[in-house]
């Protein structure tokens, strides 16, 4: 096996991240290196979709002298709730986890967020080992220490407000093993690629050029190219979080594509995944930023990565504007847009009607391809 790439987030939310094919099979060694030498009690909370991987990991940890209990989750936004959090706390009690023990989250961002919150709160905070299994969780959710659950919104018929309860709780360490991506459904894979596209725009010309050169190999899920992609993409998020852990400035750049994206994602008639909405949002933001060359480049790259570049149906503009107004990331001055003026040159500006119009025009289904 090739040597893993080792990265780290600096600062108060700091943690190491190891990236490499086959790394999950070396979990006991990684635990020992992170001050979790056996014997520990480990509560493995796993997405049922990766059951064979979970069983393999549990056997390895047990063979190394750990005492492993396993709890299974169904990954869905509806289940990222208080009931699931309580069930994980109950499993931790049943497994008799103590302060020297650990939670292990194996799954996508849903599992990572809710298990992370359980780890943050159980006995006022236990070690969390994060093993992301979706591309989105690998390049985004598992890095940076944000955990949380959704809460029911008062006055609605069971609608959930996203990530309304949570805390910052960095993992003890993160293992990113591209081998688990082989079973990830195509649409989930492409969804994660949108965050990689976002990271490339934030990072600059070199990163964009690398993505352009490797789009076809990425799309084929060539293992070596994937490992390279993961290392590049995780490095961008890790760098930003290290420089601005609590979102006083630069961390807001990670919302690139997400202001437009969140509003589009919540319009039910568009049937967009998070990543599809983010890809459209990145293109809209590039157009709104006024750099036509960059917008054309983002459009070509999104296309090459199998991501949409036009809305699947005409937009109900009034509904879109309402959703935009509900953006919880908006401050008191109103909605703000993260605009790329050039690769790697990002500005956070108050939204104007002109900027939103320019962004939406770029993804209008009636617009010819660039």
Ligand X SMILES: NC(=O)c1ccc[n+]([C@@H]2O[C@H](COP(=O)([O-])OP(=O)(O)OC[C@H]3O[C@@H](n4cnc5c(N)ncnc54)[C@H](O)[C@@H]3O)[C@@H](O)[C@H]2O)c1
User: Nearest distance from residue 114's CB to ligand X, in Å?
Assistant: 8
Plot region of 319 (φ>0 → left; ψ -120 to 50 → alpha; else → beta): alpha
Q: Which residues does 314 contact at the CB level (< 8 Å), separation at least 6?
A: 365, 366
Minimum distance of ligand X from residue 110's CB (angstroms): 3
Measure CA of the first residue to CA of the last residue in the chain; give whole Å.
42
Rule CB under 6 A: say whether 144 interacts with ligand X. yes
Q: Is residue 305 within the footprint of ligand X (CB under 6 A)?
A: no
Q: Which is nearer to ligand X, 150 or 225 (CB)?
A: 150
Question: Could you say which of 133, 225, 233, 259 contacts ligand X (CB under 6 A)?
Answer: 133
Q: Is 242 in the site for ligand X (CB under 6 A)?
A: no
- Is residue 146 a contact residue for ligand X (CB under 6 A)? yes
Q: How many residues bind ligand X (CB under 6 A)?
A: 26
Nearer to ligand X, 126 or 174 (CB): 174
Q: Nearer to ligand X by C-beta: 273 or 291?
A: 273
Q: Which is nearer to ligand X, 212 or 244 (CB)?
A: 244
Determine which residue in the list 44, 49, 127, 356 makes contact with ligand X, applying CB under 6 A: 49
**Cα–Cα distance list, 167 to 27, 81, 113, 303 (Å):** 26, 14, 10, 36
Report the C-alpha dihedral over residues 252, 258, 259, 264, rounded to 10 degrees: -170
Q: Which of residues 171-230 bind ligand X (CB under 6 A)?
A: 180, 183-184, 188
Give me the least distance between CB of 275 and ligand X, in Å please.
8
Between CA 100 and CA 109, with CA 104 as vertex, the angle to 5 degrees is 140
Which of 319, 317, 337 is CA-nearest to residue 329? 337
Mask of contacts with ligand X, 78-117, x by CB under 6 A? --x--------------------------xxxxx-x----
Q: How far is the CB of 246 from ligand X (least distance, A)?
A: 13
CB of residue 72 to ligand X, shortest distance in Å: 11
Q: Single out the residue of 21, 42, 50, 196 in contact with ligand X (rule: CB under 6 A).
A: 50
Kindly report the length of the chain. 370
Instruction: Please state the closest distance from residue 357 (CB atom) to ligand X, in A.
Output: 28
What Cα–Cα distance (Å) separates residue 346 from each residue in 143, 212, 314? 21, 20, 29
> Should residue 266 be labelled a site residue for ligand X when binding is judged by CB under 6 A?
no
- 84, 121, 134, 233: residue in contact with ligand X (rule CB under 6 A): 134
Return the number of the residue (181 or 324) whose C-beta is nearest ligand X. 181
Least Å distance between CB 362 and ligand X? 24
CB of 226 to ligand X, least distance (A): 13
d(CA 206, CA 214): 12
Regarding 234 and contact with ligand X (CB under 6 A), the answer is: no
141 counts as binding ligand X under rule CB under 6 A: yes
Span of 140-148, 329-337, 350-358, 361-369 interacting with ligand X by CB under 6 A: 140-148
Which residue has 């096996």 as its token pair?
Answer: 1
Interatomic CA distance for residues 183 and 151, integer angstroms: 30
> Per CB under 6 A, does 163 bind ligand X?
yes
Nearest distance from residue 146's CB to ligand X, in Å? 4
Beta partners for residue 149, in sequence order: 165
From candidates 13, 137, 193, 282, binder to ligand X by CB under 6 A: 137
Positions that interact with ligand X (CB under 6 A): 47, 49-50, 75, 77, 80, 107-111, 113, 133-134, 136-137, 140-141, 144, 146, 162-163, 180, 183-184, 188
């Amino acid at each position: 096996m090739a040597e893993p790439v080792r990265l780290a987030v600096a600062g108060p939310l700091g943690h190491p991240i190891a990236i490499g094919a086959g790394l999950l099979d070396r979990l006991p060694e990684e635990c020992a290196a992170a001050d979790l030498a056996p014997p520990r009690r480990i509560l493995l909370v796993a997405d049922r979709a990766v059951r064979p991987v979970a069983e393999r990991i549990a056997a390895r940890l047990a063979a190394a002298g750990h005492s492993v209990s396993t709890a299974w989750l169904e990954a869905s936004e509806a289940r990222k709730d208080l009931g699931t959090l309580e069930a994980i706390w109950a499993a931790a009690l049943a497994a008799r986890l103590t302060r020297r023990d650990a939670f292990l989250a194996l799954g996508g961002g849903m599992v990572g967020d809710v298990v992370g919150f359980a780890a943050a709160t159980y006995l006022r905070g236990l070690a969390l080992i994060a093993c992301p299994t979706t591309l989105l969780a690998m390049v985004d959710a598992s890095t940076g220490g944000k955990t949380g659950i959704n809460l029911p919104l008062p006055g609605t018929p069971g609608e959930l407000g996203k990530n309304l309860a949570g805390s910052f709780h960095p993992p003890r360490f993160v293992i990113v093993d591209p081998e688990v991506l082989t079973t990830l459904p195509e649409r989930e894979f492409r969804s994660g690629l949108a965050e990689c596209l976002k990271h490339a725009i934030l990072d600059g010309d070199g990163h964009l050029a690398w993505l352009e050169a490797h789009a076809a190999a990425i799309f084929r899920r060539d293992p070596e190219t994937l490992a390279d992609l993961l290392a590049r993409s995780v490095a961008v998020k890790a760098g930003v979080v290290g420089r601005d852990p609590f979102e006083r400035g630069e961390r807001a750049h990670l919302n690139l594509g997400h202001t437009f994206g969140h509003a589009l994602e919540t319009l039910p008639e568009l049937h967009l995944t998070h990543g599809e909405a983010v890809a459209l949002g990145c293109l809209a933001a590039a157009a709104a930023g006024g750099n036509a060359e960059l917008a054309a480049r983002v459009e070509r790259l999104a296309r090459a990565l199998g991501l949409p570049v036009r809305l699947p149906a005409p937009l109900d503009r009034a509904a879109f504007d309402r959703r935009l107004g509900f953006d919880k990331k908006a401050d008191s001055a109103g909605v703000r847009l993260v605009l790329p003026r050039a690769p790697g040159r990002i500005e956070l500006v108050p939204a104007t009607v002109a900027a939103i119009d320019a962004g939406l025009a770029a993804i209008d289904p009636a617009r010819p391809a660039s």
